[in-house]
Chains A and B, each alone.
Chain A
């Protein structure tokens, strides 16, 4: 029995800690009764995992009405922040793919390409400012949280994010110094060893962005935010979302103009499709998050 409990125990990881504390032992007992010593089949694993994910989503106010309207608004802003993180990754890829596009575009297409790119830049700046303002607004509650002894709870995620950022920053400096010593053809060919090193650096930067976003979300979940501050965060998250959708449109316009005027510049369609799809998925996640915030705003506090 104890060995089966060891096998089944990890299935509970899908559930939030408070749920495991209350119902975990009962669920394990039920699984043991159902299995009668056998290994859990995949359908059972999926049933438990799916229910655990739903329970987690409920506990943070993403679905259902279990969480308070305030908690739902906080979740709404954090979902948009997650979408923004995904969008930034796609945006980095777009920035790399669109390097030197102005010189490749024909004279007639150059103006449209320039306008679309400027649109992306302005909207990226707008979204970036909104994220920074949202972070600054949380500084005071963050300090209060640290003073109340919250550091041990967030320490691991914050240190991981800091370490990942330091590694990616060091990698950026090293790569820039190396790249300036290489001829442009070698840099752009993707040949060994620069090409793989560049990809590794890109992955490191992506991981640093994700780790930072994760640490921000873990911390923000625990801050004591007033309704007014939550309202401001939800509003800022809407600004970010509008900017994301605008950037997606501008990026698609940019692709189309370049595809018509300088198709040789774009290269593999798979790269374009991946970047655009990632942006669209990020937009969709952001819309889902914003809709959750709207629903919470209509609920009585």
Chain B
């Protein structure tokens, strides 16, 4: 089965651990989710998140501009985690009923 590879969600999760620039984001996402995002997909997602105010650039003189989670981004991530947890609990319960341990 394919892993969860929703780039905006993965970026929010990665930035929850602190500000990161593009390359650091790619490496972190690969490490915790096993998903290798392409540069185009990463910056497409960064653009969407930035436009919606869920992340923001950290002032920097470096061209490798880091991003951090905003308060709205943290709230959005918390909501997504709640939704995923609810789904996971349903799946776990159903598997248990079927006699399978998740």
Contacts and interface: CB of A to CB of B under 8 A. Distances in A.
A52 B39 CA distance: 11
Interface size class of B (residues with CB under 8 A): 10 to 19
Nearest to A49: B40
B22 A26 contact: yes
A43 B43 contact: no
B99 interface: no
Interface residues of A, number: 22
- Majority-rule SS of B interface residues: helix
Contacts, number: 61
Contact of B39 (A25, A34, A54, A55): A34
Given A23-B46, A25-B63, A55-B47, A30 B22 contact: yes
B41 A47 contact: yes
Interface string B62-80: 1111000000000000000
A48 B63 contact: no
A234 to B, nearest CB: 26
Contacts of B23: 29-30, 33-34
Interface of A: 19, 23, 25-31, 33-34, 43-44, 47-52, 54-55, 66
Contact of B64 (A30, A51, A52, A66): A30
Interface of B: 21-23, 26, 38-44, 46-47, 51, 62-65
Given A33-B23, A34-B23, A27 B39 contact: yes
Candidate in B21, B51, B62, B63 with the most chain A CB atoms within 10 angstroms: B63
